[in-house]
Amino acid sequence: MGIGLRNFLIIQKNMYQKQNNMSCTIDCCCNCVNQKQLVKHPSNVSDFGKGRISEVMGWVCLMPLEMSKNESAVYCEVQHDMCELHQRK
């Protein structure tokens, strides 16, 4: 199950806009209420999450998934993406 060509092209356009300091005008993760910045912590053991709390290591989506009965988050390496659960800020 892919995102489809239309959504892929929208994501590419959105990434171009961000790289050129243009604002997102579509339903991008960067303007969703559920996206939060994920930062590193000096006490972490692995290189993946070890560092200063001022260092961004990625983004998480806190959208509660109906398939998950417990609280969870979805990790993403990029800030700009898209999904069908988008809720604009």
What are the tokens at 72? 């969870």
The pLDDT tens digits of the residues spanning 27-38 come to 788 888 889 999
Give the range of the structural domain holding residue 71, as residue numbers without chain letter. Answer: 5-76
The pLDDT tens digits of the residues spanning 41-69 come to 999 998 889 999 999 999 998 876 665 56
Domain tally for the chain? 1
Residue 16 parent element (H or E): helix 5-19
The answer to whether position 84 is within a domain reads no
Name the amino acid, one letter, at 57.
M
Radius of gyration, alpha carbons of the chain: 15
Q: Which residue has the higher pLDDT, 30 or 5?
A: 30
The answer to whether position 47 is within a domain reads yes
Residue 83: which of 61, 56, 66, 67 has the closest Cα? 61
- Predicted TM-score (pTM) of the model is 0.64
In degrees, rounded to 5, the angle at the alpha carbon of residue 52 between the alpha carbons of residues 50 and 56 is: 85
Q: Which residue has the higher pLDDT, 72 or 69?
A: 72
